[in-house]
A and B are shown apart, each in its own frame.
Chain A
Amino acid sequence: MQGVLGAFHELDSAIHAIEDLKKAKLGDITVFTPTPRHEFDHVLEHAPSKVRIYTLVMGLAGVTFGYWIPVWISDYWPLVVGGKAIATWVPFTILGFEVMVLIGGLSTVFAMFGFSHIPRLTMTVGYDPRFSSGHFGVWVETAPEQADAAIELLKKHGAEEVRRER
């Protein structure tokens, strides 16, 4: 995988660079930013995250499981305590809730990992330590022949540094 990486110090220059890159259709664009700026979402126009679906489904699965454990346990070895019914669903709501939160919460996290491809075993090309501190990075995945165009475009928008990677 190869392409061109531009590092910007100013937010607006990066935004404009991206717009032009999109117009020029030079390839897929990935933006690196120290902190989430929704300007990028506006220009990149990505679809909303699907994480919420996992949260919902696994939450429901969790609450079901959370009710099922105590009921099964109680019936598995029926012992009367305090003259109460063997499977008393009312207090089991607590367990249901806790297990829902546990499974729902964890699966949300794992869904997030999955969608954003982490944990990532290798540092892919097209990343620079500066992007975690102060700089915005724009990575265009282009064929070598179009690379020069991309470089020129990024430079025009005032990228501090532009480099070609493979």
Chain B
Amino acid sequence: MSQDTLKTGDKPTGVKRREFLKVLGVTGAAVSAAACSEDTGKLIPYLVSPDETVPGVSTYYATVCRECISACGVIAETRDGRVIKLEGNPDHPMSKGALCARGQAAPQGLYNPDRFRTPMVNEGGAWKAITWDDAVTRLATAVAGAKGKPSVFLNQHESGSFPRFLDSWLSSMGLAPHLSVDAEADQAAIEANRRSYGVAWPSLSFKDAKLIVSFGADFLDGWGAGVSQSLDFADARAKLDNAPRFVYIGARRSLTGLNADEWIACKPGSELSIANALAGKSSLEQAATDSGVPAAQLQRLAAEIGANKPLLALSGVTGDAALETALAVAALNQANGAVGVTIKPAQPVTSFEGIASTAQVLNAVEQMRGGSVGIAFVRGTNPAYTLPKSANFAEAFAKVPVRVSFSSFPDETTELCTLIIPDLHSLEQWGDAEPLRGTITLQQPAMDPVFPALKGSTADALIAAAKNPVGTYREWLMAQLPGGKPAIAAALPKGMMAGTLPARPTAPAAPIAARPSPASQGDFTLVTYPHALLGDGRGANKPWLQELPDPVSKVAWSSWVEIHPETAQRLGIDRGDVLEIKTATGSVKAPAFPYMGIHKDAVAIPLGQGHHATTAMGVFNPKKDAGTVQWGYGRYARDLGVNALDLLPVASNAAGGLVLDGMKVSIAKTGEHRTLPSTEGSARQHGRGIARAIEAAELNRPEQEEHEVLPGAASAEFLPGLRSPVAADAQGELGAPTAADQGKLKGMYDPNDVRGMAKRRWAMTIDLNRCTGCSACVTACYAENNIPTVGAAWQNATIWADARAGFNIERGREMNWIRLERYFEGNPDAKFGEDFETRFVPMMCQHCGNAPCEPVCPVYATYHAPDGLNVQVYNRCVGTRYCSNNCPYKVRYFNWFGYGEEDRKQYAFPEPLNWQLNPDVTVRGKGVMEKCSFCVQRIREAENRAAVEHRDLHGDEFTTACAQACPSRAITFGDAADPSWSVTQLIEDRRAYHVFEELNTFTAVVYLKKVNHSAGAAAPQA
């Protein structure tokens, strides 16, 4: 592979080629297995070698994740000056070492091929690249020109000192203070929290609750501080005795809802009356009629609430009664002893402080439309997309003479600006955050800017523009932080320090001046919600997040309309039929997704897709368009799906938050049909016992007699799987050659014969009771193992081939080494109102002791390693695909195209995305099979370290990427042959089982059954 030769070096990309060459020259950087050329290329040394780094060895920096407003503490793994992976910071109270899918995908923002590489100015409608200094001088003159006139600064909400710095700068320039915008935050909940508890966001303790009731609060997919909430929720549910039962009330059953034991499917907007009824403010019968929920069910719930204190009730309603509902729920909490126990105002999540309401933003838009505004700034946020079309942001924005953007990506708003000074990525600049009161998290640059033309962050630009004496933003920041230099120096390695930042001003919440918007007609109610992975749309330009199937619908690279199967059947709508959804304010067309988890009178559409450039741009062609600016939020997001906000009128709830659901819509079949790019084969298990569950009551009953499959007796059947035959081990350190049989017997014909078995067996347990289906593990795996994304429109064949986004996924060609299977339990053709259960199963290579894939490979490309791994040797593989045919778990993935070959149009890592590639893992070329390797590179790294230090591996010394990322700690990895690894205890759990045990594959992955808390069992047997 000639990546490391000079000839590629003179490509006129803005990338710091030299740096890159240094790196690739000295490290055996990850490149295609297929391309094993004799071309040895050049070795480019450093000029001055950085002191703390050793080539080929990772350095880790603690910093902050800015992908959502929670601001978790993360650790950036850098190799030879490049960030190659983000991981949670184990010491950080927010993330506790875990990291969600969006956080994992941050490097794809850093290395996004569509990132602005230079500042740009729009002169007479034409964009022109300029130097950073030039841009700063233009900024200075513009600001000077706008002095005294009203101004607007829309900044993506972030925790920390920067907002304060920004306001001080603005006032020094005689400009209005900025608005801290976040389109995802539940403003009603925040306002209700303020009124009831006095803080924007108290930290929640699921562990201490006896009953969890959520009114549409999706605390596992985007509502609030995702990672810490999942961790806590998982811990709560993992308590096998008196774990809290979880009831979800809402018109749509979100990922959070799917994790509930019971779903109370109410009419959209009727949550308020249910909450009031439960709080005793009104009659349950009234609530029943409003919500269409049988009264008996509500009575049972009421009884349960009475019987199970403390309660944890949450409201995430986004209708126009959002605030009222939130307040009612707060009352419910106060009435049931939640405050201080399950809801802790004393430990507020400070990252939610100081968010401006959407109403304020809309008022600012009106101000702009007034024409008086002299200058407008946008940073990070994308109002042209995140505000309803009916707000006519573009038209209002156009009235402002000078429009400056500090955004890094060519999105809808940036395209409307006149001057672009791209901010550095958060991994490239200094900053701070206070996610939890009292914990200041430090954000330090983990690497030099990818694009050297960008000389500084927004703050640096502002300072430079103001000729401000404070020097760099870093110096200013250090001066702000408590404890001074030594304290900071001490804190930096950990990335955290104790102390609090000054409180942030919060504007009083007020709804926007009611604006007459035509009332929509139609017999369906619309529900829109932020996408679990793309959020308000900011994730849409990251291929990992596009490729990662939505946890609920399992649809990728597309929008969809959720409609209840019963309704669909009534209207003759099939899965994939394109529906037109109409309101008075607009209409969208999207394929139907029949989903049992939606109210039969409602349709739901996720937000986040449907990015468009102002002028149509056509399908991206990697061979031709690589150089041009990809407006419409980049090549990966542009023209995918629809933006449901087009349907919404400009209306806000009492807290000033945008009303996302409740409006009437009419739906019509267009006659078009589009196969959904979904990874779902069959949503049912067909009784094959892949995802197993057990009733809590059942579990707590004393052990049954032996022959019963369920309790811990399993281990007998497990032994063979958790032992592995040894060969090819000349040293004998793992067993065979020095074993009793001198290594003669290397077979497993008799699973109970222990001779010739290895002393080491890598194994894994997956606790289905903890798994919430959030899919963070999947993205972590993509990041760790250089897995290509295949869904982009141009990643199909060339001649007479379909260039449609997600087409490869329609054909089942996704490459997710670990996938999350979502199985529905219960009546397959249930009518609405019949509850159903959902089970999530992370499925990856099971590393079988008797692997069916191995003997069929004609070239030994896959075989059983002495330490129990089922190994795939890419460079030996000739691609007969027999192994995949013979794999009962179907966890082997084939490189149908040259996803890993940079000269192919299907190349999945276009410059500079390839900077993120993990040098320890071979990038696979076309025509080879690949699969989960149990992160063998991490195993080898640990083994090497141990060998050099002349010691054995310690228990739990390291773990796989998926286990490390998992925000609910469902995955445990370790050596099943060495009791010092915690996995060995978990294997003995009485919930443990193998998938397809009857096939005698003796898998190394042990699943622990999910525990259900059905309504009947919920009554406390004291």
Contacts and interface: CB of A to CB of B under 8 A. Distances in A.
Whether chain A touches chain B in the assembled complex (some CB pair under 8 Å):
yes
A86 B747 CA distance: 7
A83 interface: yes
A85 interface: yes
Nearest to B886: A82
Interface stretch (A25-33, A47-55, A73-81, A150-158): A73-81
A84 B749 contact: yes
Interface in A75-101: 77-86
B732 to A, nearest CB: 13
B854 interface: yes
A83 B849 contact: yes
Q: Which 7 A-B pairs have the closest CB atoms?
A: A85-B747, A83-B748, A81-B854, A82-B855, A83-B850, A78-B727, A80-B864
Interface in B824-863: 848-852, 854-855, 857, 860, 862-863
Contact of B749 (A77, A78, A81, A85): A85
B484 to A, nearest CB: 61
B728 A78 contact: yes
Contacts of A77: 728, 860
With most chain B CB atoms within 10 A of its CB, the pick from A79, A80, A84 is A80
Contact of B860 (A81, A84, A85, A86): A81
Interface residues of A, number: 10
Contacts of B725: 80, 83
A78 B746 CA distance: 9
B1002 interface: yes
Contacts of B862: 81
B726 interface: yes
A80 to B, nearest CB: 4
B749 to A, nearest CB: 6
With most chain B CB atoms within 10 A of its CB, the pick from A78, A81, A82, A84 is A82
With most chain B CB atoms within 10 A of its CB, the pick from A79, A81, A85 is A81
B727 A80 contact: yes
B38 to A, nearest CB: 25
Contacts of B860: 77, 79, 81
A84 B855 contact: yes
A73 B124 CA distance: 74
Contacts of A81: 851, 854-855, 857, 860, 862-864
Nearest to A77: B728
Given A79-B728, A79-B860, 7 more contacts: A80-B747, A80-B864, A81-B862, A82-B855, A83-B725, A83-B747, A83-B850
A84 B748 contact: yes
B854 A85 contact: no
Q: How large is the interface on B (under 10, 10 to 19, 20 to 34, 35 or more residues)?
A: 20 to 34
Nearest to B737: A78
Contacts of A82: 850-852, 854-855, 864
Contacts of B864: 79-83
B972 to A, nearest CB: 24
Interface in B854-897: 854-855, 857, 860, 862-864
A86 B728 CA distance: 11
A80 B857 contact: no
9 contacts: A78-B727, A79-B727, A79-B728, A80-B746, A80-B747, A80-B864, A81-B854, A83-B747, A83-B849
A78 B862 CA distance: 13
A129 B684 CA distance: 78
Contacts of B850: 82-83
Interface string B389-409: 000000000000000000000
A79 B727 CA distance: 6
B751 to A, nearest CB: 8
A133 B851 CA distance: 64
Interface string A57-84: 0000000000000000000011111111
A88 to B, nearest CB: 8
Nearest to B860: A79
Contacts of A84: 747-749, 855
A77 B726 CA distance: 12
Nearest to B723: A83
A86 B1002 CA distance: 18
Contact of A83 (B728, B745, B851, B857): B851
A114 to B, nearest CB: 37
A93 to B, nearest CB: 16
Interface in A138-166: none
Contacts of A79: 727-728, 860, 863-864
A86 B854 contact: no
A79 B726 CA distance: 8
Nearest to B853: A82
Contacts of A85: 745-747, 749
A84 B728 CA distance: 14
Nearest to B747: A85
Interface string B724-766: 1111100000000000000001111100000000000000000
Interface in B47-99: none
B727 A83 contact: no
B768 to A, nearest CB: 27
A24 B726 CA distance: 80
A81 B854 CA distance: 5
Nearest to B745: A85
Nearest to A91: B855
B763 to A, nearest CB: 15
A85 B727 CA distance: 10
B598 to A, nearest CB: 45
A81 B865 CA distance: 9
Contact of A86 (B724, B727, B848, B851): B727
A77 B859 CA distance: 12
A82 B886 CA distance: 11
A84 B746 CA distance: 8
A103 B10 CA distance: 60
Contacts of B727: 78-80, 86
Contacts of B726: 80
A83 B725 CA distance: 7
Contacts of B852: 82
Contacts of A86: 727, 746-747
A131 to B, nearest CB: 51
Contacts of A78: 727-728, 746
B463 to A, nearest CB: 63
A82 B751 CA distance: 12
B1001 to A, nearest CB: 9
B869 to A, nearest CB: 11
A83 B863 contact: no
Nearest to B751: A83
With most chain A CB atoms within 10 A of its CB, the pick from B747, B857, B862 is B747
A101 B266 CA distance: 75
A142 B747 CA distance: 72
A77 B849 CA distance: 19
Interface string B698-742: 000000000000000000000000001111100000000000000
A32 to B, nearest CB: 51
A27 B849 CA distance: 76
A85 B748 CA distance: 7
A82 B725 CA distance: 10
A85 B726 CA distance: 10
A80 B729 CA distance: 11
B169 to A, nearest CB: 66
A85 B753 CA distance: 13
Contacts of B848: 83
A45 B725 CA distance: 65
A118 to B, nearest CB: 39
Nearest to A73: B860
With most chain A CB atoms within 10 A of its CB, the pick from B726, B727, B854, B1002 is B727
A84 to B, nearest CB: 6
Nearest to A86: B746
A78 B498 CA distance: 58
A84 B849 CA distance: 10
A27 to B, nearest CB: 61
Contacts of B1002: 83
Contacts of B748: 80, 83-84
